[in-house]
Structures are given as structure tokens and as C-alpha cells.
A and B are shown apart, each in its own frame.
Chain A
Amino acid sequence: MKRLLKNNEFTVAIIIAITWLIFGIVNPDIISLANVYSITRASIISATFALACMLVIISGGIDMSFFAVGCVAMYVTVKYLVDRAMLDTPLFLIFAAAIIIGIILELINWFFIDKLNLPPFIVTIGSQSLYKGFLLAFVGTTYITTMPKGMRKLAVTYVSSTTSSSGIVYNLHFLVIVVAAMYIIMHIVLNFTRFGRNIYAIGADVAAAQRAGINISRTRFLVFLIAGAIAGVGGVFQGTLNRAAVPADLVGQELLVIAAVVLGGGGGKQARGSVLGTALGVILLSLISNNLILMKVPSYWQQAVTGIIILIGLIIQSTEAISKL
């Protein structure tokens, strides 16, 4: 029990439960399957990018460029296909192209951070600007609404549906299952493979990891490679759910995703981020941002509330760290 209380995931789960309960008392509609479907649908994008961001944070770095990477990967791919009227391109090729672009862009980050040993925050804030500027200055600034068929079909693929008390149909989006599967795979990779444990090791102590015989540079290489692949996938998800390719529309909102990871236990000095914690962090933030309207809180309150939640999360983490001393 004592260990459970010390556990960060447990703390976040309790906060979720309490928030949900309070929301439910104000508006009973919030505690419903329909609302669960809608929250999960709204979480798909941030959940995907959070996975990439978490991986980098566990390895001891930080990534501010993942949205820019995802946007470039998706927009370049879609624009290429649309310009050449290749709308019938199979979905897996679209994903493959976006993944490759994502990997290349994140590996540029890796080069500066690992090979030149530069501070990750400043490097990735620089590459964020570089990628976004590149996309808008050299690739295009227009909204593309005629999307490849595969993506259009994916946008309306549901696995289950429910009707809310007000008669509106809510669907469980197929991509929710995909993201869940990605989380499970990531959990397995992080906890049951040598590579996954090595990431935690270099995040905790680079010198000690080196002495243990871990190839730091290669591990980081793989971390950024996977993060790039996930960001590419996330970019395609974003285009799919938006039903349009909008250049760089997410860039600048990295904070919300980082906040989810930090709430889930990443970002502390102990490098203890976990897949479950990140998932809970994403859910908590989606829960709040999605339901403030149902709570009849004006939407312009949202940003301030998010700020407060992040600060509370940081304070909880720091008191945990203090009690450990």
C-alpha cells in the first residue's frame, strides 16, 4: 500500500477518478460510454505524439519539434500525392512515406544532441522553427482538402457506437484501437526488451550506462528513430481526423503533450516515465479540456485551467521527490 501511494501512476489515476466524479456530479452526462468514446477520439493525436515525446524524455532529453516533424511528414506526403493525382495510393504507402520523413527529421535532432552534445531543448526548439519554416516557405501554405482515398476511408472507420441520452450517436474510432495497440507495444518494448531498459538506464545516468557497456549513441539513435516514426504516424492521423492537410497547424502546442508526459511521471530527475503514466496523463488533460464545456465553463477558461493542472502536477512530483530524500 505504501508503495502504491508513492506510485505516480496511482496518484494520477486518483486525480482522474476524482475529477470525473466531480464533473459527473455537475453534469451526469459526463459519466457515460458516449463521453468515453468522445474523450478517446479527442485523445488520439496527443496520445500518439505523447508516445514519441515520452520516449525522448525517458532517455534523458526533451523534444520540442515532434509536431513540426509530424506536420512536415504528413503534409509533404499528402501534397506529393495530391499534386500528382495519386489519390489511390494505398494507405500503408502513405504511412511508410510519412514515417521515413519523420525518421529523417528526428535523426537530424539526434545528430546535434548526441554527436555535438548540445542542449536538447535549444536544439529541438531550433529544429522546430527550421522544419515549420521549411514547410511553409518551400513546400506550401495551402489547406489541402482533397485527401487520398485511404485516409478519407480511415477517417470514418469505427469499431463500435453508442447513442447518448440526447440522441446523438457517438462512435469508438478505429484509430483508438490502433493507438492502444501502439501503447501496448511500447510498454512491452520499454519493459521487456534490453533496448527498452537501456533507454531508462541512459536517462538515469549516462556515465553509468556507458560503464555497463551500453552503446549510448546507438540507443539514442534508435530512440530518435522510433520517435520520428511515431511522429510521422501521428502526422498522418492528424491529417486523417482533420480530413484535410493543414501545414504546421499543431506547431506551438507541444506543451500540452509534454504536460501529459510530465503528469505521467516523466521529466523528473529520476527518469521514471512510463507508458501507463503517459496514457493517464493524456486522459486527464483530455478529460478536462473536453468536459469544461459540458460543465458550462466558458471555453476561454481552458488554457488557464490547463496551466494550473500542469503546475499542480509539477508540485505533486516535486513533493514526491522530496519525500524520497
Chain B
Amino acid sequence: MADIVNVKNMYKSFFGVLALDGMNFSIGEGEIRCLIGENGCGKSTLIKIISGFYTFDKGSLYINGKEYKKITPIESMNEGIQVIYQDFSLFPNMTIAENVMMYSSIRSKSQFVNWKNMKNRAQETLDRIKFDIDIDKYVYELNVAEKQMVAICRAIAQDAKLIIMDEPTTALTAKEVENLFKVVSELKSRGVSVLFVSHKLDEVLKISDSFTVMRNGKNVYECKDKKLSKEDLIFYMTGKKISEERFNFIKTDEKPLMQVKNYTLQDKFYDINFSLYKGEILGITGLLGCGRNELAKSLFGIMPATSGNIVINSENIGIIRNVQHALKYNIGYVPEDRITEGLHMEQTIADNSISVIIGSLVGKNGLLDDKKVRKKKQETLSLIPIAGMRPLNPAKSLSGGNQQKLVLAKWLAANPQILVLNSPTVGVDVGAKNEIHNIIKGLAKEGIGIIVISDDIPEIMTLCNRVFIMKDGYIVDERNIAETTMEELEAQIALEDSKAEETA
């Protein structure tokens, strides 16, 4: 089997920081490979070098047997290498047909656009992987899975030999993932190689023929079969054995802190009923599109429910109408997406830390009380220690894990009695993840009721004492973590999925 890409002893540094430190990597024809590693391990640098967006300092790069000292994006595409980024890089103001043929059209150097020819060729491409959709639809009308298919078609249309997919399954439902895998096997049978890039131990491992683990810019483990436990994989990724204790919940109060009754948001979730006790960590999991995300947002008033009611400390408060309403009852929310929802990256760390409680820092004269403000900033920033942080630097100067700690800290400042955490460690290194888990457990011990919404099963296993499984907007199962295992939980989620398909 000839290698499509072969990287030998490659070095690359940015501003004196080594991103690639003697990396070796190769992928052969018709191979499905998973490249896995923590954030910042050098995965994306490697991809950008192969696709021609970065140059490298030292080492050698062979593509289809030819050595490149330097490669441009166009040359890389001409060699049949296609990258599908997480955002797909599609143009919403253009049709599917045009998006599929866009790159080929740019590379063909033809100055004119022949729409009829373009549509025919786009249709042929779609037919090849049996993707059935109207090619005259605009891309802004499509959902995530359809957009991904368009991006794949675009790669195929250029006779791609190697398709690199960046985190391809994070935004897909189980059925869509299955569909993607069908397409990938189809590609494999045509001799096209696929490289999945991921920082999560997820489904892509199942379909990959082999995988490569990266750490600190090096290839630390390569495996042609899949005989490796998750624990070992984590060890290779992080370089340390991380063993997390499970959370041990002791009920201190028989009266529930919060009761959710028949909570419904039309078309999103229905009849949600549960109780949350003081000091409990409750997990809510399920596949993408099961309604967990919407439930999380409606518990915080961002997407108000349409019916049902909530009882907090025996007081019936009805539906949580908006964020202010949620804040009034000391509900805190840590959003999924730090960058757009969690922090104000341009503002200082100190100001970010008091952004939730700013309303409470107003003095008697209607102005902000400087003394209080200063005191609160100090207090909040000492709640969760963030190493090497300067309070007056902007929040964007922090690393991903530290940013997430800051988000937690700013919510803790508000003294929440209930905390809703939506995927609290998404995109955080395994090391920082462990630290954040310990913080969350500590909070529960102080008596805060915590709801963790996550699709990360190991996370649910270490954090929670109870878990609900959601499916199609309903809670379909409840488990005590102490009485279940990771495999059982995963099987349960998959089972619920296949059951639903049978009935559908």
C-alpha cells in the first residue's frame, strides 16, 4: 500500500514554542485513520502543514511519493488532499450545486461559470454517495448533517485521495453519524483515505482501521488494530494516569431543592419531571437532538418553556421566564460555548469575574460601590485559583481550561443554590478536565444542587450520582450511577436510539 502522506521527523514552532517536535506520521491508500490528542497537542498544526496553510521548519513531507519542501494550499488540493473543517467552510448564500463544485471550479482556472455543466457534475457527485437532496437549495437552508454531506461531496468532486475531517461527529445525531460512517466505508471501497481528527474518545474510533495518538507535537502511540482500553488511551494522550473518584452523594435534606414538573417546550422536550436535592449532582445525557440542550437553556430562562412548573424550596415559581427570573432564584448556568456564550474575551479577567453580580454591587447612591467591587473581584478570583493569571489582562489571554474556570468562578460569585452546567468540559484538556471535575464535586459538597448536561459518558460517570437519559424530548430512563457501568449506560443510550428507529 503506497503512502499518500508521509511526514518524517517534522518540527514547527511559533514564536519560539514548539508545536511539532519531531512528528512522524503516514497514511496509506484506502485507510481510515483516527488522529487523536488533547487540545494544543499539535494536531491542527500538522493538518495545516499538510494542507499547505503553514510551512514547516525542519523535517520532510512526502505526498504521493513526491517530496515537498514547501507546499501551497492549491498544490495540496492538486495532490488530492481535502480538509473538511468543523465549520465546513461552505457559502450560505450559494446553492448546494455551486458549493459542491466551488473548489473544482476555482482550480480549473476557467474564468467562466457554466451552470448547466456545474449542476450536472454536482448531481453526479451526490449520486455517487447516494446523497438525495435538491441541488438548487441554498446552503443556509440546510441542517448540520446536510452541510457536512455537501462538504464531503465537495471533496469527492475534486477526486480527493485523502479527506481530513476535523471533529466530524460532534454536531451529529446518532443516526447521522451512522450515515456518515456508511459514506466513509463507501469512500474506502473507492480507495479514498479518511483521516478523522479528534480530541475526544468517541465514535470515530469504532470505524477507524487504526489510530495515532499525539502529545506535545509528537507521535506517542500508533496502533494498527484497536486493542487498547480507554484508560490506556487517556494515558497516551495526557502522559499521566488519571484516576477520578466517583462522586459520593450523601443526602442531607429530605426536602428537594428543586422540583421540575411536566416541563414542556413544544417541539423540543416534553413532560420533564425530576427532583434535585441539595448537594446532588444530577446528570442529563442523550444524543444530540434529544432535547438536553434545550432543557438546559429553558431551566435558565433563555428558551422559556411553554408549560409546566418549577418548585424551588417549596415555592411554586411557574415557568422560568427569562434569565433575570432564573437569577432571582439563584440559578446559575455555565454555557456550552465559552467563546461566544461564556466570556467577554476583550474585557479584563477581573471585570469578567463580577459580570454576573454587577447588579448587587450598586451602592445606596445608585452608583457602583468601588470598595465592594474591588473586594468582590478579589473574592471571586480566589474562589477558583487560576494559575499565572493577571486580573487586568483580557480574558482571551487565558487557556481554554482556565477560561472555563473563570466562567465557573463568575457564577460562583452569585452564590447559586442551583447550577446548570451545559457540557462543562467540552474542548478542555484532560488534565484541566480533572481539575474542573474536582471543583464541581467540591461545590456539591458545599450544598449546591448541580445539574450536568453532557454527552460525555465518562464525565457523567465520575461526576454524577444519578443520571437521566433523554430521547426525542422525553426522559426515557433514570439510573443510579453506583448501580450502573459505563458500558451499560452507553448501551442504554444506543438501545434507546435503535428502539426508536424500530418504532419509527
Q: Do chains A and B touch in the complex (CB under 8 A)?
A: yes
Residues of A at under 8 Å CB distance from B?
A: 191-198, 200-201, 203-205, 207-209, 211-214, 270-272, 324
Q: A191-B113, A211-B73 are in contact. Are A204 and B89 (CB under 8 A)?
A: no
Cβ-based interface call for B385 (8 A): no
User: Which residue, of A211, A212, A271, has the highest number of chain B Cβ atoms within 10 A?
Assistant: A212
Cβ-based interface call for B111 (8 A): yes
Question: Are B89 and A192 within 8 A (Cβ)?
Answer: no
Cβ-based interface call for B409 (8 A): no
Question: Are B111 and A193 within 8 A (Cβ)?
Answer: yes
* Chain B hits for A205, CB < 8 A: 89-92
CA distance A214 to B98 in the complex (A): 15
* Chain B hits for A209, CB < 8 A: 91
Cβ-based interface call for B486 (8 A): no
**Interface range on chain B: under 10, 10 to 19, 20 to 34, or 35 or more?**
20 to 34
Q: How far is the CB of A187 from chain B (nearest CB, A)?
A: 13
Question: Are B103 and A212 within 8 A (Cβ)?
Answer: yes
Question: Are B89 and A270 within 8 A (Cβ)?
Answer: no
**Contact partner of B87 among A208, A271, A272, A324, CB < 8 A?**
A208
Question: Are A213 and B77 within 8 A (Cβ)?
Answer: yes
Question: Are B90 and A271 within 8 A (Cβ)?
Answer: no
CA distance A209 to B107 in the complex (A): 13
Q: Across chains A and B, which 9 residue pairs bring their CB atoms closest together, nearest first?
A: A208-B89, A204-B91, A204-B93, A211-B89, A270-B93, A272-B93, A192-B113, A271-B93, A213-B106
Q: How far is the CB of A80 from chain B (nearest CB, A)?
A: 36
* Chain B residue at minimal CB-CB distance from A321: B140
Question: Are B102 and A212 within 8 A (Cβ)?
Answer: yes
Question: Are B89 and A324 within 8 A (Cβ)?
Answer: no
User: Which residue, of B73, B93, B102, B110, has the highest number of chain A Cβ atoms within 10 A?
Assistant: B93
Q: A204-B91, A204-B94, A272-B93 are in contact. Are A213 and B140 (CB under 8 A)?
A: no
Other than the given A201-B91, A204-B94, A208-B90, 18 more pairs (CB < 8 A) read A192-B113, A194-B106, A194-B111, A194-B113, A197-B94, A198-B106, A200-B94, A203-B93, A205-B89, A211-B85, A211-B89, A212-B89, A212-B102, A213-B73, A213-B74, A213-B106, A270-B92, A324-B140
A interface footprint on B174-206 (CB within 8 Å = 1, 0 otherwise): 000000000000000000000000000000000
* Chain B hits for A196, CB < 8 A: 113
* Chain A residue at minimal CB-CB distance from B87: A208
* Chain B hits for A201, CB < 8 A: 91, 94, 102
* Chain B hits for A270, CB < 8 A: 92-93, 140
Cβ-based interface call for B105 (8 A): yes
Question: Are A197 and B111 within 8 A (Cβ)?
Answer: no
Q: How far is the CB of B122 from chain A (nearest CB, A)?
A: 14
Q: How far is the CB of B147 from chain A (nearest CB, A)?
A: 12
Residues of B at under 8 Å CB distance from A?
A: 73-74, 77, 83, 85, 87, 89-94, 98, 102-103, 105-107, 110-113, 115, 140-141
* Chain A residue at minimal CB-CB distance from B52: A213
Interface SS, A side: helix
Question: Are B112 and A194 within 8 A (Cβ)?
Answer: yes
* Chain B hits for A203, CB < 8 A: 93
CA distance A207 to B88 in the complex (A): 11
Question: Are A208 and B113 within 8 A (Cβ)?
Answer: no
* Chain A hits for B91, CB < 8 A: 200-201, 204-205, 208-209
* Chain B hits for A195, CB < 8 A: 111
* Chain B residue at minimal CB-CB distance from A192: B113
Q: How far is the CB of A141 from chain B (nearest CB, A)?
A: 44
CA distance A17 to B127 in the complex (A): 42
Can you report 20 A-B residue pairs in the complex whose CB atoms are below 8 A from each other? A192-B112, A192-B113, A192-B115, A194-B111, A194-B112, A195-B111, A196-B113, A197-B94, A197-B102, A197-B113, A200-B94, A201-B102, A204-B91, A205-B90, A211-B73, A211-B83, A211-B85, A212-B103, A213-B103, A324-B141
CA distance A198 to B112 in the complex (A): 11
CA distance A208 to B93 in the complex (A): 12
Q: How far is the CB of B212 from chain A (nearest CB, A)?
A: 24
CA distance A214 to B73 in the complex (A): 10
* Chain A residue at minimal CB-CB distance from B137: A3
CA distance A196 to B127 in the complex (A): 28
* Chain B hits for A324, CB < 8 A: 140-141
Q: How far is the CB of A218 from chain B (nearest CB, A)?
A: 13
Question: Are B98 and A194 within 8 A (Cβ)?
Answer: no
